[in-house]
Structure 1
């Protein structure tokens, strides 16, 4: 789904966050030259607004709106002939306070823009029902409550553009209010908490309505057939609501529609081809994330102007109609997560101007269609989680603009040939090819070149054999590398720290051996958050679905990860681990690591996950671990640790399962409490044995001169037995 453009920009005077605005963006006002100063009444109304703002949220109006000056010269105020105030334009000024009804006393006001501020309270009915205002924009504020209903009879209000989006309005859109807006051209009420049915009769009252945006609310019920009466309507958006039922046939009588968007609702039924074909002007169709069933109708091919088609996350079935080939204007298509089947080659992509195509999570089979290689402007292609097979065609190099490619979880073969073909796509930044190439050998050929722009590489779950190849060290722009769940052997190469932008490394669940190289503790992106400024901040062309419920559109939104778990690594945890101060996830579990947990690990104050379980670690848990305030997952189970477990903060939330398999650990959440009756530690036993050996040596040596010393040592031993538990346990 395209961006809802729910952002504020200080450079824009009018904030109607809709990409397709149609005739609502025609110039409604012209600026007249100033002929004289504003009246005292108008100045008083503006001063009333200024004085109602908080001191810290007046946007500097206390200075620029001085009582002694002509209000026609004030910032954001424009006047027409006779000194009549015609515009008050104060978007993105940091204003905080209420909107006073006295602004309606500006009887010549045509355009009021208070968008992108922090104004709160209700929207005065006097402004909504003004006899002069033609454009009213209060979007992106903190306004709340229901919209006022109009009580007295009135008709023919001049209001043409009403933007109340991105506030906290509640209740239904009052029918009596909409009935008097006969000249309305555009209404944006998106991103609020409106309830009830969609205001389907709005076009009867406002026959010139061209744009209606009601998305991101709590509207419910079915879509009324009355929307078919909207003969001038070009944009209809009602996504992310609670709408049910099917798409009524009558709605397709609104033949001027260019943008039809109902994603993320509970719509059901099938797409009726005979109705759909009526929308011959349609450019944008989004019915994603509903419960639509049935096949894609052949008549889709008659929508010659269609540029974007979103049918993802539905229950649609069958083969794609070959008539889809006729949609030559199509630039964006997503059919992700349906049950489409068959050979994608039924569709001829040759004449399309495709930029983004997502066919993932379906049941397509066969080879990648050769015709898709004719789409030289294709930027993003996702074919993941299907039944595609075979090798990559050398023609894939024709996709000169290709930046994002995901073909994971299919049955592709010959990884060496695949990489040699793909590295000719010089603009590739994201390459996800895991769960293919079953049991093959990862190529070691140092001559593999290209991929100079690659930022994401995932070759997981194949399972490939071989060692981590040296050619990866050439991918100097790499930020994310996932080689997990393979059968890779050998050691972790020390050159990984030369990948200066790498902040996500997952080489878990392989058969790697040897020590953790100390060079791994020198990964620049994990040492300082200042290095994040070096990352490319561009959005990904398609979101990366890391799990079913988690997706990312920005790479720097990924956590900083070092995952080496489930290998056969030996040796100690390097003390240099404390340098990785921006690490979020550290997982060294299920290896054969030994030695103590270095106290430097407590420097990783950004950690959210720390898993050292299933190793051979000894010693005590560093008490400073309690300073890891963001920790939500902690596991040191199945080691040989001793002493007390940390307490306080996050550690009060971790249960016995985080420590199980360490019989010498004690703490309030464990079955073993750190009390005076607990068995002496191994170090304490060693002390006792040493002291007793001295005593017995003195006695059996018969040296009377040393007997006093023996008594002293025995006395000292008894004292230690009683006072050992007075010493803080973490100091032992």
Structure 2
């Protein structure tokens, strides 16, 4: 036997060592048998005995194999592929010196280290793939030594030196991938001389400037991926019909949609979402694109697809159609013949009236994602195809009730019916339904009755949002089965219950909102020091809780105290398909956060009947909050001089200490020179700028204790909380400063 190819054969278990007895093998391919594993002894025998090998493809699990096992590979080897096989440690330098090696692929071995030879390196390599490894790559050295190189894949790599210096030598290159490397600035297009290029991938960098005209003139170009950069200017007109993949999404491109798209021969991907394209897109542009499978034009606010009315024979092979935020006013009839479609997004448009019955039969055997949210759709709740996985019709004008037949959607994982005009009760079957559901959003639907009490063991729910309905009863204790629950929002209902201690045991819970219900009783002490291990947002406001402030509970909120900022990347609470949102109270206003930053923290216990004390002064430790932008301690009974340490908070932009009993001289300098009278109103003992009352030798005594006591009696029960807002450069981080009372033993965060 000279050739053995078992690729993608679904074999499992260890590779038999007897393969090494096939001493005349020239080509061996065991790739992509994801249950198959290669052990070190077997690999060593293959390398030692198969001395005639020219092709070796082992793209399988080699997590236990040392790269040293490849020592003494056959000198006749021309192709070696070890893609995505979990290799670790340092790759053998000697492999780069194999005299006949033309293809080397070790991509996607995330823990594989190594470097390229710096001297005596002469090789006929034509294809080199080092993407997503820990190799140190000196590009000028690489290109100067690889004269025959045609394919170079360096996605997500570690570079040393300057990258533009190697570009003029790439005249013979056919495939070039440099994505996911955080390169920035102007890409040196003028240095390039890509004469036979078929594949260009510069995506996921920070390149700026316009795309040069010569990109549109390369007759051989089939794949162009420039997405997720900051390119500007118009999309040019393509001069040839060779293009198959066009990915330009997530840039700053503007101008009209290119008319030359209609002349392309066999494109399967056209993706221009999240740009600033403008003008009208006529349906006849796509008339000849019989092989187009993926059309993504979403989120170009100035682009209009209002005349997007296809004939029934247009886009017969369409699989993914994403036209969100495209000014569409009706659902195109061409979808009736889209028998292969699996992803349809028509959200954020101007679609009116009832949903046509035929739409709910589209892709009966294939459709798994259907998003009709943020439209003007009317009528009863439609019933999507049984095989649907994601269904959203939120923020429309849907009326009526939720039929129990919705529980027949056995594959549903994401269901969003929020912000409609539904009524009546939730079908009892929703409890067992939770076995498949990951995210359920029924906010602001005017639903009533009791929420289903039976949640199945093994419940997969990650997010359950029922805010703004008329639910009664108590929290279903069977939610304790939902161990993956991160967001639980029962706010603004009529729940009549005490605080349920089993909530503390949910290991992944990050958001707990029970605002504005009929909860009552004391919160009491947590059962263990490990209560709410991941909780960052808790809102129990506007209930009837009483008793002492639960300081022991707050002391254990470790995730809130340890919240940190990753300045390199903003992250939001979400999963693959669903973005979490919530409503918070700030400065007396309800504000909807359409995204929740993962570093957002807040506590709101206001408008209950708690009793106890909070400190009567502003602690100097607030000065340690060096990133504080907004400090509001107004309308309390704070009695102290204003701490001079606050002057050192350079980022402080808003200060409100009004309606307290502060006395003495107002600190001067830095940000304090920008604050006006309304920051201090109602503090009769204060003096100095910006107040009209000047300070003498006597800076003013504190008000008489009797006055303070009288004013305390004006409060019926308890005390009031105010929110402190913290900013970290990439947006706002919200937190309630409880530090001096609750976290006095912890380092301020």
Q: Do both proteins adopt the same fold according to a TM-score greater than 0.5, normalized to the shorter chain?
A: yes
Shift of residue 276, structure 1, vs aligned partner: 6.8
Partner of 2:737: none
Distance in 1, Cα, partners of 2:283 & 2:357: 24
Quickly say closer, same or farther: Cα 1:407–1:305, change in 2 above 3 A.
Answer: same
Secondary structure (helix, strand or coil) at the match of 2:437 reads: coil
Distance in 2, Cα, partners of 1:192 & 1:600: 42
Partner of 1:173: 211
Secondary structure (helix, strand or coil) at the match of 2:278 reads: strand
Partner of 2:634: 613
On the 8 A contact 1:428/1:454 being kept in 2, the answer is yes
Partner of 1:220: 254
2:491 paired with 1:460: yes
Partner of 2:196: 158
Q: 1:353-379, CA deviations, whole angstroms, 9 ceiling, x for partnerless residues?
A: 222222211111112244432222221
Quickly say closer, same or farther: Cα 1:628–1:519, change in 2 above 3 A.
Answer: farther
2:335 paired with 1:300: yes
Distance in 2, Cα, partners of 1:236 & 1:323: 26
Q: 1:187-209, CA deviations, whole angstroms, 9 ceiling, x for partnerless residues?
A: 112233333332332xx42x332
Of Structure 1 and Structure 2, which has the larger fraction of its residues in helix? Answer: 1
Distance in 1, Cα, partners of 2:182 & 2:483: 44
Secondary structure (helix, strand or coil) at the match of 2:553 reads: helix
Q: 1:120-159, CA deviations, whole angstroms, 9 ceiling, x for partnerless residues?
A: 675876356x1x21111223342543664699xx9x9321
Secondary structure (helix, strand or coil) at the match of 2:638 reads: strand
Secondary structure (helix, strand or coil) at the match of 2:214 reads: helix
2:268 aligned residue (224, 234, 244): 234
Partner of 2:298: 263
2:218 paired with 1:188: no
Unpaired runs of at least 5, structure 1: 1-26, 40-58, 73-78, 575-594, 687-732
2:106 paired with 1:65: no
Distance in 1, Cα, partners of 2:519 & 2:466: 16
Query: Highest Rg: 1 or 2?
Result: 1
Quickly say closer, same or farther: Cα 1:358–1:553, change in 2 above 3 A.
Answer: farther
Partner of 2:552: 519
On the 8 A contact 1:331/1:356 being kept in 2, the answer is yes
Partner of 1:588: none
Partner of 2:464: 431
Partner of 2:149: 109
Secondary structure (helix, strand or coil) at the match of 1:502 reads: coil
2:686 aligned residue (652, 662, 665): 665
Secondary structure (helix, strand or coil) at the match of 1:616 reads: coil
- 1:703-722 paired onto structure 2 within 5 Å: none
On the 8 A contact 1:301/1:324 being kept in 2, the answer is yes
Q: 1:202-230, CA deviations, whole angstroms, 9 ceiling, x for partnerless residues?
A: xx42x332101111223222223321221
Distance in 2, Cα, partners of 1:619 & 1:553: 36
- 1:474-493 paired onto structure 2 within 5 Å: 475=506, 477-486=508-517, 488-493=519-524
Shift of residue 682, structure 1, vs aligned partner: 4.8
- 1:488-637 paired onto structure 2 within 5 Å: 488-495=519-526, 498-526=531-559, 528-529=561-562, 539=575, 541-546=577-582, 550-552=593-595, 557-573=598-614, 595-597=616-618, 610-625=631-646, 634-637=655-658
Q: 1:459-499, CA deviations, whole angstroms, 9 ceiling, x for partnerless residues?
A: 12235555444554554543211122345444444338733
On the 8 A contact 2:428/2:452 being kept in 1, the answer is no
Partner of 1:400: 435
How well do the aligned residues superpose, as a CA RMSD in angstroms? 4.3
Shift of residue 410, structure 1, vs aligned partner: 1.0
User: After the TM superposition, which of the residue ranges 184-193 and 117-126 deviates more from structure 2?
Assistant: 117-126
- 1:270-309 paired onto structure 2 within 5 Å: 270=306, 272-275=308-311, 277-290=313-326, 292-309=327-344
Partner of 1:642: 663
Secondary structure (helix, strand or coil) at the match of 2:344 reads: strand
On the 8 A contact 2:232/2:253 being kept in 1, the answer is yes
On the 8 A contact 1:146/1:172 being kept in 2, the answer is no
2:406 paired with 1:366: no
Q: 1:585-605, CA deviations, whole angstroms, 9 ceiling, x for partnerless residues?
A: xxxxxxxxxx44556666777
Shift of residue 307, structure 1, vs aligned partner: 1.1
Q: TM-score, normalised by structure 1?
A: 0.69
Secondary structure (helix, strand or coil) at the match of 2:277 reads: strand
Partner of 1:383: 417
Aligned length: 585
Unpaired runs of at least 5, structure 2: 1-58, 60-76, 81-93, 100-112, 566-571, 584-590, 708-749
Quickly say closer, same or farther: Cα 1:603–1:86, change in 2 above 3 A.
Answer: closer
2:392 paired with 1:354: no
2:388 paired with 1:336: no
2:162 paired with 1:126: no
Secondary structure (helix, strand or coil) at the match of 1:244 reads: strand
Partner of 2:35: none
Q: 1:163-194, CA deviations, whole angstroms, 9 ceiling, x for partnerless residues?
A: 12234544443333432x22212011223333
Q: 1:403-437, CA deviations, whole angstroms, 9 ceiling, x for partnerless residues?
A: 211111111001xx314155778222211101001
Shift of residue 650, structure 1, vs aligned partner: 6.2
